[in-house]
Structure formats: C-alpha cells, structure tokens
Structure 1
Amino acid sequence: MQPTVAKRLQHTEEYYFSRKLREIDDMNKAGAQVINLGIGSPDLPPHPSVVAALNEHAAKPGTHAYQGYKGIPALRQAMAAWYQRFYNVPLEADSEVLPLIGSKEGIMHICMTFLQEGDEALIPDPGYPTYRSAVQLSGATPVAYTLDAANDWQPDLAALEQRDLSKVKLMWVNYPHMPTGAQAKADTFEKLVAFARKHNILLCHDNPYSFILNDRPASLLATPGAKDVALELNSLSKSGNMAGWRVGMLVGKAAFLNDVLRFKSNMDSGMFQPVQMAAVAALQLGPEWYAELNRIYAGRRKKVFELLDLIGAQYDTNQVGMFVWAKIPAGYKDGFAVSDEVLQKAHVFITPGGIFGDNGQGYIRVSLCRDEQVFAEAIDRVKKAIPHAQTVQL
C-alpha cells in the first residue's frame, strides 16, 4: 500500500541539505572524510551560564511537566528586555512576545495562520528556501521578488508595484539577509512599512543574524508604524550558539500574535521549562558575549576569503552574518558546478547559491561554522587536489 501524498506536499521537495547530507555521509563511509562548509549550525558552545541554568532547573522535580503555549513569564520578560536593550524596541511581555520552538517553526505558523488557497505571498530571491515551502504548504502561491547585487540586495518596491498585488497577503523579508549577508539600507525598513500599509500586506521580518559580525543590530519593529503592519521572528540559534535547543520568538502586535497562537496551540505542548530558563540566561548576556563571538567569526572569515581567493570567487568584504556569499569563477555554468567539482576533487562541500533561488545561480555560499584549523585543511586540500586552483582552472 502506498497512500497518495497530500496535495499540499506535491510541489514541496525534500530540503536540499537533507539530501546532500546523505550523499556526504555515503562519501564518508567510503573514506572521503568530507569537510562540510555548507550548513550554518554553530559549532561553538553556549555560554557556561546557559548550560548551568539548564542543569540546575532540569534537576528540580517540578520542571518536567507540560508547559504553557505562551512560554513562562520569565522568558517572555527576558525576550522583551533583550529587544529593549539591543534594538531599542519596547514590547509588552505578556501580549507582544510569543516564544517558539525555533524560529523556523514560526515561519510555518505564520503561513498556516494567515494564508490559504487563492492568496499570494512575496518571497525573496535569493532567500531562505523555507519561505517558499511554508507558503506552498499553506495552499497559497509564492511569488518571488528579485534581489540582486546591482541594488545591494534590497527589494525593488517600485518594480513590485508594477504587478498586480491584489492577492498578495504577506511578504517575507530578511535582514541581515541570508544568503548574501547584505544589511538593510538606512531607508529600507521605512519603505517596506509604507509599502505594506499601502497595499494591506502583512510584513514578516526574519531576523536571526543581526548580531553576527554586525555592530549595528537592527529590528524592523524600531521603524515608526511597523507594529501596525509587521511581525518579526528572532532566534537564539545563531546569537546564543543554541541551534539544537530550538528557542525562537515571534514579536509584534498582540492581535497578530493571538491569531498565530490559535494555530500554534494545536501543534505543540510547550517548551521544556529548563530550556526556557536557560534561554533567560542567554538573553541576559552582555555585549562582551557578542564581541567575543564575533572575534572568532572574524578570524574564520579571513580563512574563507583565502579559500575563495584560491578558487577565483569574488565577494563583498562588508557582508555580515554567518556565511560568506561569493560570485562563482568565470567559465562555470552555476554554483552547482563549482560545488560539485570542489566536493568530488577536494572533498570539501560548499553550498551552491542556486538552492536559494534563480538569482543565486551564479553564486556559492560558505559557512563560518568551523574552526580555523578546519578552514586551513580545506585550503590545503584544494591546493593539492586542484593544482591549478590558484589560476582559476578548477
């Protein structure tokens, strides 16, 4: 027996990294020992106080029951204080903060709450693939909007207004942008808020990278009038080295969050209470935590630049976030060709930009989530396995 796959899944493929990791696993079983520079999963540990908080509360007998769908008050208060401290955004902890089991969960929650068949949602190209898949799973139609280097990876709202926007109900935006590392321009958020208000579109800002190699963390909700038209997702996965802990948040107007809670409360039974208390500790860390994190990432980024120079890729040294985005060497059809060749010859995996959309085809992306010694080994492998790499003859 093979049940028919639901219609909502017929246009949603398995996540690229899920497939690729199986291929890399097969290569490793054959002895390849692939260096994976593709996935943005922080390899550094959380702060010791975070682990201590988890251990302390996990040892208490009364912390193992089901938890509330809105998280414990201490966590919501810590999230609100974090937003005030680092983004200068005041939030009402009881009504404008909704803890999530990871912000990726929130992308699906938002789409399932507000979208249905007949609706359209604007998604960035290039952009995080989950935006497209979540929109499709909701039954709505994803409509890609172009981001490109010529416009510093900012949305061209004038071009968008030339199309029919009558069915567009929601727009996904993401700054600092993944995968390009671009930051929002000084007026980008203001223009987006005005655009959303004019066309009655819910603006959804995904903001997990604002602390990584960036001394200007910014929230869209700091923009005047943004709360009337926007929601923002954030996460401790990158900023707190807590990717596997699954702690995220959705912040914004209470009415929006109440609608999302109607869906979320049917999907989970709350977050483990000791994890919530550990998240409180993470949210209370000061600027020195982020400074040390970025000192490490800055050293790694220099190594990535060295690797990219070796294969002849071009990149913007001002990009921020957990990855380096680079234009592929001349003579290659797309980033998949570069990625496959480096993987097969040097046993080093870098991400092809095409998985992020058509406008990413001519690019590759390298994660900073490996130790400098690993990057040095990757550089050495490319030099040995691809002798003419220095002259861009991969």
Structure 2
Amino acid sequence: MTLTSIALQNLRQRKGKTAFLLLTFILITGISVALNSLSQGVKGELEKSLSQYGANVIISPKSEQFSLSYGGLSLPGVHFETKTLDYASVTKLENPNLILKGIAPKIIGSASGKDNPYLIVGVDFSNELKMKPWWHIDGHLPKGGEVIIGSDLAVSNQLGIGQTLELNHRNYKIAGIMEKTGGSEDIGVFTNFTTAQLITGINSWSMIEVSAAEPSQAVAILREILPEAKVAEISQLVEGREKSIEGFSRFSLALSLLLALIGGLIVFLTTTSMIHDRTSEIGIMKALGFRRRHILAIFMREIFLISLLGGSLGYLLGSLAALLLAPITYQASLKFQIHPLIALTAITTSVIIGVVSTFLSAQRGVNLEPIKALAAL
C-alpha cells in the first residue's frame, strides 16, 4: 500500500471534514477568480471595443463655451465665438509623419422643426460606415435633399421611410432610418455635406474623426499642424470607465489576498483539529515503523488532493460566475474562455495555502513520541 493510497483512504473515512475543506477551497478560489476574471474580462472587452472603433482621434474647433453634444463630445453652438476648421484642414492631415487609416470630417449644426430643434450631421457615408461598422441603416443612403434619421427620433415623431421632415421651413425626404445604437445617433438627422450646408448654413468642419495607427503620437503631431483645433484621443473619452474598471481590479486583488489569509487560517485550524483527533493513529503508524517524513507525506498528500480539486472546481465556478455578473455590474457580455494565467495562479495559490497550513499544523503531531501518541487510545 502506497502513501497516496493511504491518503485517499483517510479522506474517504473522514467525509465530513474532507467536504468542509473542499468547500472552503472552492469558495475562496471561486470568489477570487470571479472578481479577477470579471475585471480582466471587462477590461479586455473595453480594449477590444476601442480597437474596433475606427476613429481613435477627434479634432474639433476650440471654443470657450459649448451647447451641442454629439458622440460624447461637446460641440460649439451658434451663439458663441469659436475658431473654425476650414475645409483646408483635411489637406493638412496629409503629413508624412502621420500614419492615418481613415479621415471622416463632419458638419454638425442645428435646424428648427415644427416643434423642436434637430441635431443635423453632415457626413461622407462611405468613410463614416468604415469608421462605424455598427451603423446599420434601414433604407438607402441619402441623395441631395434627403436625410436619414435616428431610431428614437423616428419613434418620437412617428416618422417612416418615404415621409418628409421639416427642417428650417423646408421639407426633406427621409431616405432611411438608422438602427438604435444607444448613442447620439438615435436622435440625429444625417445627410451628405451639400444638404447639411444648405440646412445649417455652416461652411466649415465641425469635427474631424481620424483613425491613426499610433493615436498618442498622432495627437502630438496634429496639435502642431492644427493649432486652431482641439485634438483628443477617443480613449480619453472613456477614461472614467477605465478608472472604474481599474478601481474594481485593485479591489478584486485586495479582496483575493484577504480571502487567501482567511482561507489559510480556516485550513490551519481545521487541519490542526484533524491531526489532534488522529494522535492515536499517528502513534500506531510510528509503532508500525512509519517515519516522521512518511506520516508528514500522508498529510501533505491528503491536503494536496483536496486543495487541487477545490482550486480546479473553484476556478470553473468562478469563471461561470463572472459571466453572470458582467451584464449586471458593467452591462457587458463576456464569453466563457480559459485564462491560463488566472487558472494557474488560482490553483497554485489554493495548493500552496493548503500545503503550508497543513505543514505548520502537522509539526506537533508528527513529532510526538510513539508512547505519548498511543496514550491517546
């Protein structure tokens, strides 16, 4: 009979305490993995979203006061003095030091309607749809004198494709309706540059979205060649969300360390109690010729098997819990995937906690003299 088989037999004989220790490892590992997988997963999804977002730099006119909003960026209103981005600004972007994958200028203004003002956005749809692959339009792209409206605007005004929308006392045919995006697009009116100029009377760019290979480097260059403009990275617009995720990551790490300490204390107290109850068993093994290292090896094998199984099950349950928590905490959807580093760290930590705690608590028991140990019978 090997030491491992003896350890397995001991675990089967002590089902209650074995189950308690196993549950302890599962809970500690599961909670830690759930929190860290959630923070890493949401952070990964945010980075993925930013990488998929065509534009990563925004250029807008400098102004002291703003009154409109589009895409999370404040834009100048008509009542305030602002610097303008003339049409030649786009040609300045043809700089050998800039590696640009796309340029999407916009004309953004307002127009009066029957009851409320409307946000007017003039774009080059060929470039815009490359920048924003999540834009889906029901209908066709607008021609001269035609517009596309956001989904919320269509619902609130009970408008459909083929009908007309009054803008500044002129009617424009609705060529399409943009599917809901959850952003400013849902309440906007989109058209080509010529029609946007006619509606708003604006003869300069209101904003230029740029897709750059190196956003940070591009921002520095763009600020030099366009001193009249405000240049910002898209990543700066989601800085608040990133800080929230980073804060949650630090909280998850701190809580994981606290759980590890608590788990180690629970395992230490439980194994100390188990070894104390097995004093007579230790005496019998010593009387049969088992050496100190043999007895210690049996205890180590027992806790190793429990902690390895508990860590593995805890990792799987924690990963599943992260999938359920993501939509609730960050309105994000995660896919189940194995994170080798998190899995290795979780299982290894579980085993280390178990082995170290048991080693410390087993010292007194394995050092007992056979006569003293047998006296417990």
Question: What TM-score do the two structures reach when normalised by structure 1?
Answer: 0.18
Question: What TM-score do the two structures reach when normalised by structure 2?
Answer: 0.19
Identify the structure with the greater helix proportion: 2
